[in-house]
Amino acid sequence: MDGSPCPLDKEFSDRIAVLLAPPTPQSIQEYYDKLIEATNCHGLRIKYSNKHGKGVYANSEFKEGELILKDQMLVAAQHSSNKVDCLVCSYCFRFIGSIELQIGRKLYLQGLGLSTKKECDYQTFSHSSNGFCQNEMEEAEGNFFMNESDNTGSSSSKNLKADPLPEDLLLSLMNGDLSLPYTRQFALPPVIACPGGCEEEHYCSNLCADSDWESFHSLLCTGQNTERSRRASLFKFIEHANSTNDIFILAAKVISYTILKCRKLKRSHTTEIGKQPSLDKTDEFSFSLLMEAWKPISMGFKKRWWDCIALPDDVDSGDEESFRMQIRDLAFTSLKLLKEAIFDDECAPLFSLEIYGHIIGMFELNNLDLVVASPVEDYFIYIDDLPCKEKHEAETVARPFLDALGDEYAVCCQGTAFFPLQSCMNHSCCPNAKAFKRDEDRDGHAVIVALRPISIGEEITISYIDEDLPYDERQVQLADYGFRCRCARCLQEQS
Ligand SMILES: C[S@@+](CC[C@H](N)C(=O)[O-])C[C@H]1O[C@@H](n2cnc3c(N)ncnc32)[C@H](O)[C@@H]1O
């Protein structure tokens, strides 16, 4: 990149270009054929066309309302501020513990003055609307800030609530001494601690804990088992992300995932082949492993973050260049902090600003909001629907907690995720499918259902925006995704 402040961009420019080169149609086909085989999504096929790049096509018929896809995220994270509201598994994003723990913990943390996000947006495909924490962005970067309420949930609560409940009451709710009526019917998986001893991540099972550890967390854990100076660096990186934009946590997860996969490939190669490459080939060998580990990320549609981020309404177009430079500098600050914490010599090109910018840009252009409905909401609805006598008895115990929660009782788990198959779905203003969580979808998977009958060979499209908007407004919104829509409806309405 011309004028990049990051020395690694220059040192590894050839390798960075290889890592960021768009995959060939043939490698796309091979990769997604394998993925579809491995995930049993035989009703779908990914095809490449010169028109819109990758797209998802029906390989079988779908009826209206039928499930098309449940896509497991490649990488995902709960918004930092949402962690106050919802205790979820850090790998699959199921709610964990118990209804009592969810309620008690939230009220307890609120009592400590931690902020919360009010409502839950069930519209799951969304542009990340910059995701900045407003105050910190203003402070850290000087001039610019975003007006809209951001989706990191950093807004403080405005709703009216009853007086706080006594702390010891909340503690007994959290530690299981006090139980609420009918919560057995809303049993949740137990809370499994992080194997590295950090207090940040929790899991619903040992399987999730181990999978997270192996795929992401062993490099990012701030627990006691992590060496002291690395821990201090990680804390600094996380603090910076939490106070500016938690998209950096996701970028760190992508880098951690690639490094850990690279190490795993190296181990299995050494065990299988039984020998190390000759010294003069070590460098090439390491890079071939890096390419292999990076492959799932290489498939994602990407642009540099500071090039593709939508210009906030309150930034004058004359200040655009300066705004984009500030975004780049912010990313560079974050990258330097991450590099101090987890740098790996054999994966050095990953720590270039060019790669970091493209990873974040990938989330900007492809992300689907991570949304998991809260069982606490179901619980209070259940109480409300009980016959009169039972309802009255249950409410006597549960009501103070509902009052203390106010209208925040229903806050769902919210975050950002990259889904390998869903992210290949193109947009249409007359879509035949939509992202929609059904009652049974209680984890972080992306769920896509058919809006009308779909025949074999038809492209499966979703809408990235509110498709009921008039033509011009739709184009304005889609410009934030970097394209002008050429779907059948737009072509017709344009003429
Ligand atoms: C989430 S990706 C979809 C998959 C993408 N086609 C690929 O090759 O990875 C979104 C990008 O696809 C392209 N795209 C999606 N829908 C489109 C449409 N209706 N008209 C033009 N381009 C579209 C745009 O470049 C957009 O930024």
Does any domain span residue 2? no
CA of 301 to the centre of ligand 1 (A): 8
Residue pLDDT, tens place only, 101-145 = 999 999 999 888 776 544 444 333 444 445 555 444 444 333 222
Q: Is 365 in the pocket of ligand 1 (CB under 6 A)?
A: yes
Helix (H) or strand (E) holding 407: none
pLDDT average, residue stretch 268-278: 70
Lowest mean pLDDT among 79-93, 125-139, 321-335: 125-139
List the beta strands (DSSP E) in 163-261: 192-193, 202-203
Closest residue by Cα to atom 12, ligand 1, is 426
Report the nearest atom of ligand 1 relative to the CA of 53.
Answer: 8
Provide the number of structural domains found in the chain. 1
pLDDT of 365: 85
Task: Give the model confidence (pLDDT) of 329-360 as tens digits.
Answer: 999 999 999 999 999 999 999 999 999 999 99
* CB of 421 sitting under 6 A from ligand 1: no
Strand partners, 418: 75
Does ligand 1 lie within 6 Å of residue 262's CB atom? no
Q: What is the rounded (10 degree) CA torsion for 69, 70, 74, 76?
A: 120
- Is the residue at 410 inside a domain? yes
pLDDT of residue 125: 41
**Is residue 292 domain-resident?**
yes
**Tokens representing residue 480 in the block:** 């934030």
Q: Which two tokens stand for residue 50?
A: 């010169």
Q: 481 CA to middle of ligand 1, Å?
A: 8
Task: Say if ligand 1 is within 6 A of residue 487 CB.
Answer: yes
> With a 6 A CB cut-off, is 366 part of the ligand 1 pocket?
yes
Strands 459-460 and 192-193: unpaired
User: 297 CB under 6 A from ligand 1?
Assistant: no
Query: Would 237 be classed as within a structural domain?
Result: yes
- CB of 411 closer than 8 Å to CB of 120: yes
Probe target for ligand 1 pocket from 49, 52, 368, 487, with the most ligand atoms within 8 Å of CB: 52
Residue type, 238: I
Q: 51, 428, 483: which to mutate for ligand 1, most atoms within 8 A of CB?
A: 483
User: Measured between alpha carbons, how far is 252 from 57 in angstroms, rounded to an integer?
Assistant: 32
In this structure, what DSSP letter does residue 55 have? E
Of 168, 180, 178, 176, residue with least CA distance to 108: 168
* Assigned domain for 88 exists: yes
Residue 190 lies in a domain: yes
Element (H, E) at 475: helix 471-479
Residue 376 lies in a domain: yes
Give dist(CA 301, CA 51) in Å, integer: 14
What are 337's strand-pairing partners?
none
Give the CA-trace dihedral at 423, 427, 430, 434, to 10 degrees: 20
Report pLDDT for 283: 83
Domain span holding position 35: 7-494
Residue 338 lies in a domain: yes
